[in-house]
């Protein structure tokens, strides 16, 4: 009889996740900045990333890497509460004006924190990465020097993400909207030695010339910048509490960064533009509104080497990484893709033939045929619907029957 999957238990039937990974086995492995990731989905720096305990939960999930909270030179508590808000009716959007609460860079680069976050057994499989967001250039350079020094004795710090896109520090502008300032920051960083592979967290751009200017600056430092993460939250969003006739956020006059499903299409545009304009040696990591496997698939199709998940992780917890990875594997199985590279950056131009395929898929969906939604995201498992989980459910039923038969001695597998 063939060997059972590693996740098989004689006392517990295989899960959907086990079946997808063991029976179908499309690979979600990728590389970002030359660093191998076992899956192409990992956490964004933000909520649920500020402590080693929170990071350890990410490490125990299907997340392909562990990215710590954006750090400042010293620990800080951030903006006054309430500083976060989730749209209550459809959960389509979230606002945050946290103001970078974090434990300080020394905490995130200490060997104890890294070990508590990823554990010595997994550190060589899932990279541990830090994020920094200094209040000024001096702070960023100081933190980069600390990281370089720490890495001499602890090479587990695989990469550093330089956040030039935070909109929520009161009185501090978004650096990456000032292209001359962004150029000056990267020029200063390029003079440092020993810094691990560098990524840059980018804000959302809306105008063609801005995309081009941002790409020109990043390309100027292609020997140093190994990836960009697009996008951070859309700054200066606003929501009103009708009953109280006031903003829902207390700090910064109620203005805050917008995230969640509402930003996905802006994020997709930024991923596509950055991939088109950046040097091929610079990877693009897609961030913004990713909460299903279909969202991740779209990001990668537009050219992302990997995707980060922020608001969905905030709302759902680290189990979201398992679910999103399972949904992405299901889509890959349905489409016949065995690896991320099979479809990465291979978005097709609009065509009449493609539109016919989309209409046929929509018709099959309406008729109960399952499959991925034409022209949009698949509905996640927690929301119900006839997405690729229909296929997985059918396979699960068959395998469950075989496993039960095996348990009661009817067949040998």
Residues with a catalytic annotation lie at: 166
Which residues, other chains included, contact 148 with Cβ-Cβ below 8 Å and sequence gap of 6+?
192, 193, 194, 195, 196
Which residues, other chains included, contact 351 with Cβ-Cβ below 8 Å and sequence gap of 6+?
none
Closest by CA to 278, choosing from 333, 329, 345, is: 345
How many C-beta atoms lie closer than 10 Å to residue 218's C-beta? 24
Structure tokens at 286: 């897609």
Closest by CA to 327, choosing from 362, 369, 378, 386, is: 378
Instruction: Give the C-alpha separation, 198 to 177, whole Å.
Output: 19
Instruction: Give the C-alpha separation, 99 to 154, whole Å.
Output: 29
Closest by CA to 312, choosing from 302, 303, 299, is: 299
DSSP code of 402? H
Structure tokens at 159: 């990469």
Instruction: Give the C-alpha separation, 382 to 372, whole Å.
Output: 16
Sign for the pseudo-dihedral over CA of 11, 12, 18, 20: positive
């Amino acid at each position: 009889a063939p060997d059972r999957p590693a996740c098989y238990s004689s006392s517990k039937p295989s899960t959907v996740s086990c079946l997808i990974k063991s029976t179908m086995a499309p690979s979600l492995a990728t590389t970002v900045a030359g660093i191998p990731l076992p899956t192409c989905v990992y956490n964004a720096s933000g909520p649920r990333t500020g402590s080693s305990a929170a990071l350890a939960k990410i490490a125990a999930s299907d997340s392909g890497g562990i990215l710590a909270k954006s750090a400042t030179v010293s620990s800080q508590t951030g903006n006054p509460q309430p500083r976060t808000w989730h749209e209550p009716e459809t959960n389509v959007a979230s606002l945050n004006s946290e103001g970078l609460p974090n434990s300080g860079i020394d905490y995130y680069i200490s060997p104890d924190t890294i070990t508590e976050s990823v554990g010595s057994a997994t550190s060589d499989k899932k990279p541990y990465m830090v994020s920094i967001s200094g209040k000024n250039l001096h702070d960023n350079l100081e933190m980069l020097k600390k990281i370089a020094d720490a890495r001499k004795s602890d090479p587990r710090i695989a990469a550093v993400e330089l956040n030039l896109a935070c909109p929520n520090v009161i009185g501090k502008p978004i650096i990456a909207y000032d292209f001359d300032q962004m150029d000056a920051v990267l020029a200063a960083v390029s003079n440092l030695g020993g810094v691990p592979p560098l990524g840059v967290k980018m804000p959302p751009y809306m105008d063609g010339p801005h995309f081009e200017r941002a790409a020109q600056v990043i390309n100027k430092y292609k020997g140093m910048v190994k990836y960009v993460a697009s996008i951070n939250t859309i700054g200066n969003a606003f929501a009103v509490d009708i009953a109280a006739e006031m903003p829902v956020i207390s700090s910064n006059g109620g203005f805050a960064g917008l995230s969640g499903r509402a930003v996905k299409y802006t994020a997709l545009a930024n991923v596509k533009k950055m991939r088109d304009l950046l040097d091929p040696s610079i990877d693009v990591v897609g961030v913004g509104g990713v909460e299903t496997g279909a969202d991740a698939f779209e990001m990668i199709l537009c050219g992302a080497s990997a995707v980060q998940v922020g608001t969905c992780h905030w709302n759902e917890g680290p189990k979201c990484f398992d679910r999103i990875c399972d949904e992405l594997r299901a889509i890959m199985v349905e489409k016949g893709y065995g690896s991320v590279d099979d479809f990465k950056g291979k978005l097709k131009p609009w065509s009449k033939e493609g539109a016919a395929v989309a209409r046929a898929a929509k018709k099959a969906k309406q008729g109960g045929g399952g499959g991925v939604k034409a022209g949009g995201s698949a509905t996640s498992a927690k929301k119900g619907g006839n997405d690729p989980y229909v296929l997985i459910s059918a396979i699960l039923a068959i395998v469950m029957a075989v496993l039960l038969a095996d348990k009661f001695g009817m067949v040998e597998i």
